[in-house]
Amino acid sequence: MSSIWGKDVKISIFGESHGIAIGVVIDGLPAGEELDMEEIAFQMSRRAPGGDSTATPRKETDFPEICSGLLNGVTTGSPLCAVIENNNTRPVDYEKLARLPRPGHADFTGYIRYDGYNDVRGGGHFSGRLTAPLTFAGAVCRQILARRGIIIGGHIFSVGTIFDEPFDPVNVSAEQLMQLGASLFALNNPNIEQNMRAYIEAIKAEQDSVGGIVEIAAVGIPAGLGSPMFRGVENVISSVVFGVPAVKGIEFGLGFDVSTLKGSQANDAFAMEDDRIVTLSNNCGGILGGITNGMPLIFRAAIKPTPSIAQKQQTVDLRDGRDTVLTINGRHDPCIVPRALPAIEAAASIAILNLMAEVNAL
């Protein structure tokens, strides 16, 4: 019981990195929604590994076959299943993988959880490759939300110690978010790109990897989404965002920084603006008591460094219970943050579509 998420609109993700196919069933989509396949393909290309030097050289021609739920390009209301074949896998030294758990990976925990029957090739179901169907599902939800005036976007908030400019939480605009969504290396300050890429290249040259933070915003969200306690917007979003591998933290609005403030600094004053109630600051990230207040929804997620590095690492041999040393070969991103970004936007899109459905706003 692991890979199904959602209440009104459910996603059911399947597949293993080196298995026959991966994919997703989306159950509960509204009927009559036209899907723009080119836009979906573009969103998936943002996540896909490419010729880009910051990413793994594995080529994925990942556009899925849509098996159901779509007729003449329009959703039927029945479950939409999208299947992506795994056609660029390489033979792997299965036995060695199964014996030597890679530090930072789920090899060891998967081994325990599934009594050694887990598919360890490429991480199996734990692989970052499973974010491809997630990104597909998110791209579908994103279009449905856009039709209702909700725009979701994000940027690379940081890679290692190099930081982009944060969103202006009050004034972030749909235009800005759409522009970011059209970029393969989304930054608020594009001047940083060269610096960031050089940093990643340097890390790569060290046979190392680096983490980072992504920041997501959603605008056009009506006030009144979410519920108190366990169906708050934070609960719902975090329960899906942690489904993206390597996420180790999430914060909304000022997040951890709010812990150092005084109430007089942190509280967002209400004011009228053109017959609409707004807040003058947006430290709460658009959420009060678990419910949206109509201001931009803002959150950040922390991504750990790619655990696959070419340096020698200490591990144990599960076969004989002895300490040993492991060297990982293969294709690995020195920094997955740019590719994690669209996956986390996708997670947010799926979450927000569910929150909309929950208050009958679809």
To a copy of itself, the closest distance from the beta carbon of 76 in angstroms equals 5
Between the alpha carbon of residue 256 and those of residues 170, 178, 245, 246, 297, the distances in Å are 19, 27, 21, 19, 16
Q: Distance between terminal CA atoms of the chain? A: 28
Tell me which residues in 162-201 interact with a copy of itself (CB under 8 A). none
To a copy of itself, the closest distance from the beta carbon of 280 in angstroms equals 7
- In which element (H, E) is residue 195 found? helix 193-205
Q: Measured from the CB atom, is 177 or 302 closer to a copy of itself?
A: 302
Q: Measured from the CB atom, is 59 or 113 closer to a copy of itself?
A: 113
Out of 62, 119, 215, 345, the residue judged to bind a copy of itself by CB under 8 A: 119
Q: What is the DSSP letter of 293?
A: -
- Is residue 42 near a copy of itself by the rule CB under 8 A? no
Out of 54, 158, 188, 349, the residue judged to bind a copy of itself by CB under 8 A: 158
- Is residue 110 near a copy of itself by the rule CB under 8 A? yes
Task: Select the span of 56-64, 112-120, 145-153, 164-172 touching a copy of itself (CB under 8 A).
Answer: 112-120
CA–CA gap between residue 51 and residue 53 (Å, rounded): 6
Out of 61, 115, 191, 194, the residue judged to bind a copy of itself by CB under 8 A: 115
- Is residue 89 near a copy of itself by the rule CB under 8 A? no
Out of 25, 55, 174, 297, the residue judged to bind a copy of itself by CB under 8 A: 25
Helix ranges (H only) for 147-187 are 174-181
In the 3-class helix/strand/coil scheme, how is 6-55 assigned residue by residue? CCCCEEEEECCCCCCEEEEEEECCCCCCECCHHHHHHHHHHHCCCCCCCC
**Per rule CB under 8 A, count of chain residues that contact a copy of itself:** 148
To a copy of itself, the closest distance from the beta carbon of 220 in angstroms equals 16
Q: Measured from the CB atom, is 178 or 224 closer to a copy of itself?
A: 224
- From the centroid of its chain, how far is CA 334? 17
Q: How many CB atoms lie within 10 A of CB 279?
A: 20
Nearest to 34 by CA among 140, 136, 191: 140
| Spatial CB neighbours of 165, under 8 Å, sequence gap ≥ 6 | 188, 189
Q: Measured from the CB atom, is 16 or 345 closer to a copy of itself?
A: 16
Contact 296, 170 (CB under 8 A): yes
CA–CA gap between residue 77 and residue 238 (Å, rounded): 27
Out of 35, 55, 150, 240, the residue judged to bind a copy of itself by CB under 8 A: 240
Q: Cα-flanking dihedrals φ and ψ of residue 73, to 5°?
A: 80, 5
Q: Measured from the CB atom, is 140 or 236 closer to a copy of itself?
A: 236
Tell me which residues in 121-150 interact with a copy of itself (CB under 8 A). 124-126, 130
Query: What is the pattern of x (binds a copy of itself, CB under 8 A) and - over residues 256-295?
Result: x-xxxxxxxxxxxxxxx--x-x-xx---xx-xxxxxxxx-
To a copy of itself, the closest distance from the beta carbon of 144 in angstroms equals 13
To a copy of itself, the closest distance from the beta carbon of 175 in angstroms equals 26
Tell me which residues in 338-357 interact with a copy of itself (CB under 8 A). none
Contact 148, 355 (CB under 8 A): no
Out of 43, 56, 75, 135, the residue judged to bind a copy of itself by CB under 8 A: 75
Nearest to 63 by CA among 25, 22, 18: 22
Out of 181, 253, 296, 338, the residue judged to bind a copy of itself by CB under 8 A: 253
Q: Measured from the CB atom, is 51 or 272 closer to a copy of itself?
A: 272
CA–CA gap between residue 352 and residue 250 (Å, rounded): 16
To a copy of itself, the closest distance from the beta carbon of 203 in angstroms equals 6
Amino acid at 354: N
Q: Measured from the CB atom, is 37 or 261 closer to a copy of itself?
A: 261
